[in-house]
């Protein structure tokens, strides 16, 4: 038997939102995407295939699932940040007409406001809500702490019994102390911080569960249908093969929708108890309290460069809080290589919900801290911030992107000296960068099926978070078979289709696209074998394009797609594909430039323009990549100017568990955004859903500094902070 | 939301009779009260729909001014050509409220009678002073959006955008109650928390606002409403100012300056007005008016930024109003 060729590659993997770089051994099978210039679909602007369904309301989201006899589930949540549950009396709820199931065995101690205490299923949402009010819970309130600053104090109440503070192991390379002591360096020290931010998915978390005997079907709003399946099976003690999970469309997850989560298990249990299907969708307040958030981080930073602008040393001590669970670590120093580094990070437990991965976990925080420090140091060095980056960033793609971005934003218009803009309303420009893996991994098992009547179907148990997965799955097959994209039916979002991993860490495209390409190639090979015999041509000479199969270089005879498929037996063609490492790449680069106006009398910042540049290797769908850039910039702007989770130390409650005081930008707050997809001729596909969110806030913060000459050290940049920095308060 | 009985009275007298009973609340556009009911903040047993009352949905021009029915929507006010021209501050204030969707449904009566947005007040699990509890959580808590001018013991800011504009324009409200109707200057409609802790205005149980009357501005009058908020796609004011100037040539003959976002009531600053009357409007006098407007301010721990902000907003509003003067 010939030995299969293998090779080792570096790629990123994501487990429940934690993204790691790993080296793996993979089969080395020759395959290539080909020249993008010759492609009809890939790399072009392809409107998403389900777009019309979405805008007309035909698309069925989890909330739209209606089943005969379906009940509605609701969860009773703790009003206390920390309490022991002495007793739960649900007898009155149980007796309320219309109540079909009650669960009270969820926990004996609650550790944050919003933690699950009990649940009911009833014939309507209203009856379910009324039933919750009838559940009598006797709480014994316990001491609590909701901010990391207070939780750090030795006398603070303990969240889990042990120390609130963990971590703090130094990570060190080089000789940090002597680097800072060198006589030819300029040193800058400051503290920067980013608050905790909620995901605010447009569609809340939730699912519909239906039992069929000992089998469970769950419709879920999720980033991972297979991870929901596995978690449900594990929690319910049934085989994974008894659980089917469906997610046809979903309205955003951003890292908060990986597993079944507690509401998923509760929903399945309620459905079992009630003997009827149950729909359990969370409300906005529950979304804010109990579905995760990106942790806040504060970092005390010391950074040094030689007088000619070469980064030489970095030291940081940082802390953050993942609440009752979940880490808060961030990658520091970020992006720009520093030879001498010492970092220390502390995780601090607080009585707030557990943090979760949030679009590029840790990176936007690291970006704001690093890029602010970079600009402050550049200012001290008397150096142009862009020149400082060009000098310290070895990445050739970003080098090109910086130059392109500088031209698009008009970098020459920046204030040479920060704060020297004239007038009451001051303009400024800023820049910051992004880095990401974007590689994929093995496991996806797509099936491509061609029927004798010419119909084509591709099936895969992946899911479309709104990033456009379904569209490129169809486009890859259409490209390979020379068809119109409308001739390919892409079926995804069901665990009855072949396995595919969860969508996180921007790994979906680089995991799914190569496997789909391989399946399409295999299907094409089978079809060509049949057609070449019929046309008496060499298989290598058969070209598939424009719905025809043509024998090139000889007879030039051709068959229409329909005629060709008619040659197939009844069984048609049905082939699977496997991931191929040669079709995917890892390591994408981006940068963003911001132009702002700061009103020095009101303190208000208006973002005038963002130029956002991002590479992702070979582009599959230009429209979808642009759309990811717009989305990332919007979230980044929200982080820069508006978002923060606020907790009250007196009551332990979240002050803004809504979308009124938890502020998000609307259309009037959005600037002109120029999204530039940087075509990086790697010939390989990489993911890019996360990186466009990374540098926006930092670029805006740096633009504000350029405008007013004052650093706002913590996000969000509110009028209050600007007026304070200007010495007006 | 807790179940309630719904009433659709046909006459103001019926509405008043219904509303005089305990556990009863009025609903107009519902943009404030429905959210509060869903959150469990209010749980009325009876809800009385004011929208079933005839005749309260019109804007009438008379020889002495405007009569605005309590059910007129904010969109109708914002788009009304005469209001835009002669009562500009009111049109601009109505337009600065919330979102277009909310303005299409929300009424002027509801806007004046809406409840405070203090986050402790809005949390049904927090029993603060205003709700009959024993402490104001804003004093030691997060008071970034609270009042910089208040006699205590409560530090809300009144959330209405229309109220400062209407007060600056000299509006009166007509109130119907069990004993008939009464008319109150809007300025005296609102009450500080040392007078009325549980409510924000003079309405007694059973009373409803039926009409707002705005006197015709004197010749040479020009007004404006300026609102600064953290974001522009719907947000409450950090600070706002309604300024009405009556000009004679270069000289300001009369002025009213009413601030939003700084006090538990729309804050009518006579000292700011005094800086303007009898003088030409210049950057200097406008700045002086801004300074005077906040001279009584005693900010809390986290809202001192509102002091320079209010001064700036008043200055700008004065200058903007003066620029727009038509002879
Ligand atoms: C997201 C959001 C943003 C908002 N932003 C702003 C803003 O920026 N500026 C602003 O000013 N407002 C804002 N609001 C509040 C909203 O605009 C006002 O509450 C609206 O004008 C209320 O009118 P309504 O008719 O819907 O009142 P309703 O909700 O029907 O009633 C409000 C209150 O007034 C009482 N009431 C109503 N009419 C009368 C009457 N005629 N007589 C006596 N009592 C009465 C009701 O009993 C109730 O207590 C916002 C609201 C939301 C939800
Ligand atoms: S400001 Fe008023 S409403 Fe707010 S907590 Fe204090 S007493 Fe309650």
Map tokens 């949905």 to a residue: B57
The two structure tokens encoding residue A62: 């989890």
pLDDT at A13: 65
Section A53-63 average pLDDT: 96
Q: Which residues of A touch B307 (CB under 8 A)?
A: 729
Pocket test for ligand 2, best of B136, B191, B263 (most atoms within 8 A of CB): B136
- The residue whose CA is least distant from atom 31 of ligand 1 is B110
Does the pLDDT at position A122 exceed 70? Answer: yes
User: For residue B33, how far is its CA from the centre of ligand 1 (angstroms)?
Assistant: 7
Predicted pLDDT at A19: 65
Are A339 and A179 within 8 A, CB to CB? yes
Residues A494-528 pLDDT 10s = 999 999 999 999 999 999 999 999 999 999 999 99
Q: Which residue has the tokens 């001051």?
A: A426
Scanning the structure block, which residue is given the tokens 């938890």?
A662
* Residue to mutate, B114, B117, B121, ligand 2, most ligand atoms under 8 Å from C-beta: B121
Strands B172-177 and B180-185: antiparallel
What Cα–Cα distance (Å) separates residue A266 from each residue in A101, A117, A129, A235, A242? 11, 11, 16, 10, 18
What backbone torsions phi and psi does residue B233 show, to the nearest 5 degrees?
Answer: -85, 85
> Do A479 and A455 belong together in one domain?
yes
- The ranges assigned to domains in chain B are 1-48, 59-113+157-215, 221-326
Residue A7: the pLDDT is 81
Do A599 and A666 fall into the same domain? yes
Q: Cβ of A656 under 8 Å from any chain B Cβ?
A: yes
Structural domain range at position A245: 62-142+205-281
Q: What is the pLDDT of residues B251-308, one digit of tens each?
A: 999 999 999 999 999 999 999 999 999 999 999 999 999 999 999 999 999 999 999 9
The per-residue pLDDT for A6 is 81
* CA closest to B98 among chain A residues: A660
What spacing in Å lies between the alpha carbon of A203 and ligand 1's midpoint? 27
Domain-located, residue A592: yes
The answer to whether residue A167 sits within a structural domain is no
Q: Do residue A133 and residue A66 come from a single domain? A: yes
Q: Does some domain include residue A148?
A: no
Lowest mean pLDDT among A22-31, A106-115, B68-77: A22-31
Kindly indicate the confidence band of residue B326, based on its pLDDT and cuts at 50, 70 and 90. very low
Whether the CB of B118 sits within 6 Å of ligand 1: no
CA of B207, closest atom in ligand 1: 43
Closest alpha carbon within chain B to A126: B1
Percentage of chain B modeled with pLDDT above 70: 99
Q: Tell me what pLDDT residue A555 has.
A: 79
**Element holding A586 (H helix, E strand):** none
Report the separation in Å between the CA atom of B294 and the middle of ligand 1, taken as the mean of its atom positions.
Answer: 27
Q: Distance of CA A44 to CAs A472, A692, A722, Å?
A: 11, 20, 43
Asked if residue A607 has pLDDT above 90, the reply is yes
First-residue to last-residue Cα distance in chain B: 54
Query: What confidence tens digit (pLDDT) does each residue in B75-99 have?
Result: 999 999 999 999 999 999 999 999 9
Q: Are residues A13 and A100 in the same domain?
A: no
CB of B114 within 6 A of ligand 1: the answer is yes
In a domain, A161, yes or no: no
Is A602's CB within 8 Å of B312's CB?
Answer: yes
Compute the distance between CA of residue B223 and CA of residue B236 in angstroms, rounded to an integer: 21
Question: What class, spelled out in words, does domain B221-326 have in CATH?
Answer: alpha beta
What per-residue confidence (pLDDT) applies to B327?
36
pLDDT at A352 over 60: yes
Residues A268 and A415 in one domain: no
Indicate which CATH number applies to the domain containing A92.
Answer: 3.90.1170.50
B139 in A contact zone (CB under 8 Å): no
* C-alpha span between B278 and A190 (Å, rounded): 51
Spatial CB neighbours of A435, under 8 Å, sequence gap ≥ 6 = A334, A335, A363, A395, A587, A588, A589, A590, A691, A694
* Residue A176 within a domain: no
B230 contacts in A (CB within 8 Å)? 604, 641-642, 663, 718-719
Q: Label residue A18 by pLDDT band (50, 70, 90).
A: low
Q: Identify the pLDDT of residue A14.
A: 61
Rounded CA-CA distance A379/A388 in Å is 10
* B36 CA closest ligand 1 atom index: 29
**Segment A28-44 mean pLDDT:** 92
User: Per the domain annotation, does A196 fall within a domain?
Assistant: no
B16 lines ligand 2 (CB under 6 A): no
The answer to whether residue A460 scores a pLDDT higher than 50 is yes
Cross-chain Cβ contact A719/B232 below 8 Å: no
Q: Rounded mean pLDDT of B167-171?
A: 98
For chain B, give the mean pLDDT.
97
**Is pLDDT of A26 > 90?**
no
Q: Could you read off the pLDDT of A77-116 as tens digits, one per residue?
A: 999 999 999 999 999 999 999 999 999 999 999 999 999 9
Cβ distance B305 to A642 less than 8 Å, yes or no, reads: no
DSSP symbol at B64? T
Interface confidence (ipTM) of the complex: 0.97
B59-113+157-215 to CATH, choices 3.10.450.230, 3.30.465.10, 3.50.50.60, 3.30.2310.20: 3.30.465.10
- Residue A38 counted as domain residue: yes
Residue A9 clears pLDDT 90, i.e. is over it: no
Does the pLDDT of residue A1 top 70, yes or no? no
A22: pLDDT strictly greater than 90: no
Q: How many CA atoms lie within 13 A of A75 on its CB side?
A: 31
Interval A294-330: pLDDT, tens? 999 999 999 999 999 999 999 999 999 999 997 899 9
What pLDDT, in 10s, does the model give residues B218-255?
999 999 999 999 999 999 999 999 999 999 999 999 99
Q: Could you say which of A537, A560, A583 is where a domain stops?
A: A583
| Cβ contact A489:A420 at 8 Å | no
Same domain? For A452 and A392 the reply is: no
User: What average pLDDT does the segment A682-692 reach?
Assistant: 96
Q: Is residue A185 part of a domain?
A: no
| A605 reaches B (C-beta below 8 A) | no
**B1-5 CB contacts, 8 Å cutoff, 24+ apart:** B1/A126, B1/A129, B1/B37, B1/B38, B1/B40, B2/A130, B2/A133, B2/B37, B2/B40, B2/B43, B3/A126, B3/A130, B4/B43, B4/B44, B4/B45, B4/B46, B4/B47, B5/B45, B5/B46, B5/B47
Q: Does A345 lie in the same domain as A374?
A: yes
**Three-state DSSP string of A629-645:** HHHHHHHHHHHHHCCCC
pLDDT tens-digit series, residues A411-425? 999 999 999 999 999
A641/B230 touch (CB, cutoff 8 Å), yes or no: yes
Q: What is the pLDDT of residue A87?
A: 98
Q: Are residues A302 and A211 in the same domain?
A: no
**A·B CB contacts under 8 A:** 86
Picking from B142, B228, B312, the nearest residue to A646 by CB comes out as: B142
CATH number, position A349: 3.30.365.10
| Cα B260 to Cα B238: distance, rounded to the nearest angstrom | 8
Mutate to test the interface with B, among A133, A648, A712, A722 (most CBs of B within 10 A): A648
* % of chain A with per-residue pLDDT over 70: 98
The verdict on domain B1-48 having CATH code 3.30.565.10 is no
User: Are residues A136 and A231 both part of a single domain?
Assistant: yes
**Per-residue pLDDT band at A28 (split at 50, 70, 90):** confident
In this structure, the residue with its CA closest to atom 38 of ligand 1 is B110
pLDDT in tens, A162-175: 999 999 999 999 99
* Same domain, yes or no: A468 and A533: yes
Question: Exposed (0-12), middle (13-18) or buried (19+): which is A68, by Cβ within 10 Å?
Answer: exposed
Distance from CA of B230 to the nearest CA of A (A): 7
Centroid of ligand 2 to alpha carbon of B256 (angstroms):
28
Statement to judge: residues A414 and A516 lie in one domain: no
pLDDT tens for residues A561-579?
Answer: 999 999 998 999 999 999 9
- Cα A189 to Cα A725: distance, rounded to the nearest angstrom: 17
Q: What is the mean pLDDT of chain A?
A: 96
| Strands in B164-321 per DSSP E | 172-177, 180-185, 208-215, 221-228, 239-248, 251-260, 267-268
A462 with A596, same domain: the answer is: no
Q: Is the pLDDT of residue A145 over 60?
A: yes
| Residue of chain A minimizing CA distance to B312 | A601
Among residues A556, A583, A610, the one where a domain terminates is: A583
Q: What is the mean pLDDT of residues A389-395?
A: 98
Number of domains in chain A: 3
Residue A24's pLDDT is what? 77
Residue A15 has pLDDT above 80, yes or no: no
Looking at A281, A311, A333, which one is the last position of a domain? Answer: A281
Determine contact, residues A199/A254, Cβ cutoff 8 Å: yes
Which pLDDT score is estimated for B116?
98
- Mutate which of B41, B114, B118, B148 to test ligand 2's pocket (most atoms within 8 Å of Cβ)? B118
Question: Does pTM surpass 0.90?
Answer: yes
């Amino acid at each position: 038997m010939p030995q299969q060729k293998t090779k080792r590659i570096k790629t990123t993997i994501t487990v429940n939102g934690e993204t790691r770089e790993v080296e793996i051994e993979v089969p080395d099978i020759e395959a290539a995407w080909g020249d993008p210039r010759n492609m009809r679909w890939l790399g072009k602007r392809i409107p998403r295939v389900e777009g019309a369904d979405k805008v007309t309301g035909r698309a069925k989201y989890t909330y739209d699932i209606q089943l005969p006899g379906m009940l509605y589930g609701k969860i009773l949540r703790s009003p206390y940040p920390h309490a022991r549950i002495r007793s739960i009396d649900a007898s009155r709820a149980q007796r309320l007409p219309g109540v079909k199931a009650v669960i009270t065995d969820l926990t004996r101690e609650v550790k944050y406001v919003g933690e699950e205490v009990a649940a009911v299923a009833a014939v309507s949402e209203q009856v379910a809500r009324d039933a919750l009010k009838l559940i009598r819970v006797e709480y014994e309130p316990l001491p609590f702490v909701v901010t990391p600053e207070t939780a750090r104090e030795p006398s603070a109440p303990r969240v889990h019994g042990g120390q609130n503070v963990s971590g703090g192991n130094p990570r060190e390379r080089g000789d940090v102390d002597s680097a800072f002591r060198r006589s030819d360096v300029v040193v800058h020290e400051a503290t920067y911080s980013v608050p905790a931010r909620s995901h605010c998915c447009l569609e809340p978390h939730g699912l519909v569960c239906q039992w069929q005997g000992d089998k469970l079907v769950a419709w879920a709003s999720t980033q991972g249908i297979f991870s929901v399946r596995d978690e449900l099976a594990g929690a319910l003690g049934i085989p994974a093969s008894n659980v089917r999970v469906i997610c046809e469309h979903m309205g955003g997850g951003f890292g908060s929708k990986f597993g079944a989560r507690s509401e998923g298990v509760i929903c399945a249990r309620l459905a079992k108890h009630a003997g009827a299907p149950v729909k359990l969708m969370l409300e906005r307040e529950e979304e804010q309290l109990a579905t995760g958030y990106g942790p806040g981080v504060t970092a005390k930073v010391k950074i040094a460069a030689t007088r000619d602008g070469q980064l030489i040393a970095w030291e940081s001590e940082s802390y953050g809080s993942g609440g009752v669970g979940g880490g808060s670590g961030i990658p520091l120093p970020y992006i720009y290589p520093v030879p001498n580094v010492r970092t220390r990070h502390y995780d601090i437990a607080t009585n707030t919900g557990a943090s979760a991965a949030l679009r590029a976990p840790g990176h936007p925080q690291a970006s704001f801290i690093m890029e602010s420090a970079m600009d402050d140091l550049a200012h001290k060095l008397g150096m142009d911030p862009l020149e400082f980056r060009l000098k310290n960033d070895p990445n050739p793609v970003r080098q090109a992107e910086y130059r392109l971005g500088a031209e698009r934003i008009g970098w020459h218009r920046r204030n040479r000296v920060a704060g020297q803009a004239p007038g009451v309303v001051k303009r400024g420009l800023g820049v910051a960068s992004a880095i990401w893996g974007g590689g994929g991994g093995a496991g996806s098992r797509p099936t491509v099926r061609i029927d004798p009547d010419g119909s084509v179907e591709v099936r895969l148990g992946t899911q479309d978070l709104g990033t456009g997965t379904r569209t490129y799955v169809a486009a890859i097959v259409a490209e390979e078979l020379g068809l119109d994209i409308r001739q390919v039916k892409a079926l995804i979002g069901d665990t009855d289709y072949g396995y595919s991993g969860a969508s996180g860490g921007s790994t979906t495209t680089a995991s799914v696209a190569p496997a789909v390409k391989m399946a399409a190639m295999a299907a094409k090979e089978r079809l060509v074998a049949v057609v070449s015999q019929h046309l008496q041509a060499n298989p290598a000479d058969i070209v598939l394009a424009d719905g025809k199969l043509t024998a090139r270089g000889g007879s030039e005879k051709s068959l229409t797609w329909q005629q060709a498929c008619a040659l197939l037996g009844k069984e048609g063609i049905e082939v699977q594909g496997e991931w191929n490492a040669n079709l995917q790449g890892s390591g994408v680069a981006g940068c963003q430039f911001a132009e702002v106006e700061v009103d020095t009398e009101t303190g208000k910042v208006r973002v005038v323009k963002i130029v956002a540049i991002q590479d992702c290797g070979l582009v599959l769908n230009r429209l979808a990549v642009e759309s990811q850039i717009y989305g990332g910039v919007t979230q980044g702007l929200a982080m820069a100017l508006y978002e923060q989770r606020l907790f009250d130390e007196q009551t332990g409650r979240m002050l803004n568990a809504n979308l009124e005081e938890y502020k998000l930008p609307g259309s009037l707050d959005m600037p002109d955004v120029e999204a530039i997809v940087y075509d990086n001729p790697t010939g390989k596909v990489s993911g890019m859903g996360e990186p466009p969110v990374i540098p926006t806030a930092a670029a805006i913060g740096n633009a504000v500094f350029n405008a007013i000459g004052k650093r706002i050290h913590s996000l969000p940049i509110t009028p209050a902070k600007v007026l304070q920095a200007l010495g007006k308060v | 939301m807790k179940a309630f009985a719904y009433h659709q009275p046909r006459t103001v007298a019926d509405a008043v009779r219904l509303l005089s009973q305990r556990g009863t609340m009025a609903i107009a556009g519902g943009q404030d009260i429905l959210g509060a009911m869903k959150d469990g903040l209010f749980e009325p047993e009876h809800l009385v729909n004011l929208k079933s009352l005839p005749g309260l949905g019109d804007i009438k021009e008379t020889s002495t001014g405007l009569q605005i029915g309590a059910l007129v929507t904010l969109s109708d006010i914002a788009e009304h050509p005469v209001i835009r021209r002669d009562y500009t501050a009111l049109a601009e204030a109505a337009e600065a409220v919330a979102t277009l969707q909310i303005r299409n449904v929300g009424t002027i009566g509801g806007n004046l009678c809406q409840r405070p947005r203090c986050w402790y007040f809005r949390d049904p699990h927090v029993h603060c002073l205003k709700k009959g509890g024993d402490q104001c959580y804003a004093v030691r808590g997060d008071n970034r959006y609270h009042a910089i001018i208040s006699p205590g013991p409560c530090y809300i800011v009144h959330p209405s955008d229309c109220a400062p504009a209407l007060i600056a324009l000299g509006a009166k409200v007509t109130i119907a109650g069990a004993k008939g109707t009464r008319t109150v200057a809007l300025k005296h409609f609102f009450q500080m928390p040392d007078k009325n802790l549980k409510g924000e205005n003079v309405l007694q149980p059973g009373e409803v606002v039926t009409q707002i009357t705005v006197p015709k501005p004197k010749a040479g009058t020009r007004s404006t409403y300026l609102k600064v908020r953290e974001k522009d796609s719907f947000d409450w004011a950090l600070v706002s100012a309604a300024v009405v100037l009556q000009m004679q040539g270069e000289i300001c003959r009369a002025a009213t300056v009413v601030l939003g976002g700084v006090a538990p009531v729309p804050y009518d600053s006579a000292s700011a007005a005094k800086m303007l009357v009898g003088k030409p409007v210049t950057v200097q006098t406008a700045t002086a008016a801004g300074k005077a407007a906040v001279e009584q301010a005693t900010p809390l721990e986290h809202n001192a930024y509102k002091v320079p902000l209010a001064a700036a907003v008043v200055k700008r509003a004065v200058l903007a109003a003066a620029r727009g003067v038509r002879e």
